[in-house]
A and B are shown apart, each in its own frame.
Chain A
C-alpha cells in the first residue's frame, strides 16, 4: 500500500478518520466538556496545540528514539506541553480554565495525541507529521463543536452563549447533564455510521 501524502493525511483527519466519530478516541474529554460550545472550542484548541507541538517534536527526534523508551518520551513531551497550555489558560483565560477544571491536565492521557505520535509522527518527516496533526485537530474540533452545538442549543437554547431559541421553547436540561453527553454522542454516532454505510452501499 502506498504511503499517504501529507495532503491525504490532513484530509483523512477531517472525516474519514475523524478522531471523535470514526476512531472514537479522547472520549473522556468529549463527553465532559461538550455541554457548551465555548468550553468545547477551548478544549479542542488546547488539545490541538499539544497535538501539533508533540507531533512536531517527536518527528524531529524520530531518528534517536529507542523503541523501548519511546512511550516514555511521548508522555514526557505531551505532559510538558499540556502543562504549558494549562498555565497559559490560567493566565489569559482564567474563567474558562476554571470551567474546564481537571480536563485540561487530563489532555495528557488523551489517546488521540499518543496514537498520532505512535502511528505517524515517530515514523514520518516533519511536514507530514504536522499535516497529520493539523488534520486530526480539525477533526477533533468538528467532533467536539458539533456535539456541543447540539447539546447547548437543545439543552440551554443558546449557541456560544447567544440566545437562539425563544424563552418559550422548553430547555431539554438532560442534554446539559452527563447522561445527555452519552445520548447525544450515541445518536450522532449512529447517524454518521448510517450515513457512511449508505454512501458505501451506493
Chain B
C-alpha cells in the first residue's frame, strides 16, 4: 500500500528545512570572517610591495577597469606621504589564471614590484614566479610595453629576465601588467 506522497517525503521536507536553517546560521556566523580573510590576503601584501606603507592609512578607491569595478589601494606612509598604488589584476597563464597585485609609484609611470597571489604554473619552472628574484625584478621598470627576454639578458627598463628558456609564464605576467597599465592610463593617468 502506498502512503500519501507528502507523507513519504515528510523526512525529506523536515531534513531540508533543518539543514537550510543550519547552513543559514553557519553562513551568517562566518560570512564576515571569510570576507575579512579575502581582504587580509590582499592587504598583507601592500607593506611588502611598498615598504613603509601604513595599513591603517591605506585608502581603498573604486575604479572601473575593463567593465569591472575593482578596488585600488592607495598606500601612504606614517607621515601621510603618498607611496603609490596597488592594483589587483588577473589574466591567463600557461596552465591557469594568474592573479597578481601590481604596485605603481605615485606617478603611475614606474612599477614598484608585483606580488603573485595565485598561480598554477609548471612546478620547477613557471611557479618560480612567486619568488622575490622574479617579482622584485619588476621594480623600476616602465609598464606598458614590458616583455620577457632570455634569463640574464634583461637590459632596458622594458625588459624582464624570464624564468626559463620558454618564456610563456613570464610573458603572461608581463602581458597582465601591460594590459592593466593601459587600462589605468585610459582612465586619465590618475585613478
Contact = CB atoms under 8 A, between A and B. Distances in A.
Interface string A134-173: 0000000000000000000001100000000000000101
Interface in B11-43: 11-12, 15-16, 19, 22-23, 26-27, 30, 33-34, 37-38, 41
Given A80-B19, A87-B34, A91-B37, A171 B11 contact: no
Interface residues of A, number: 26
A184 B122 CA distance: 19
A90 B12 contact: no
Interface in A62-94: 64-66, 69, 72-73, 76-77, 80, 83-84, 87-88, 90-92, 94
Contacts of A73: 11-12, 15
A96 to B, nearest CB: 11
A76 B19 contact: yes
Contacts, number: 58
A139 B19 CA distance: 28
Given A90-B30, A90-B34, A91-B34, A69 B22 contact: no
Contacts of B16: 76
Given A66-B8, A83-B26, A91-B37, A177 B19 contact: no
Interface of B: 8-9, 11-12, 15-16, 19, 22-23, 26-27, 30, 33-34, 37-38, 41, 118, 122-124
Given A69-B11, A84-B23, 5 more contacts: A76-B16, A80-B22, A87-B26, A87-B30, A94-B34
Across the A-B interface, the 4 shortest Cβ-Cβ residue pairs? A94-B37, A173-B124, A80-B19, A91-B30
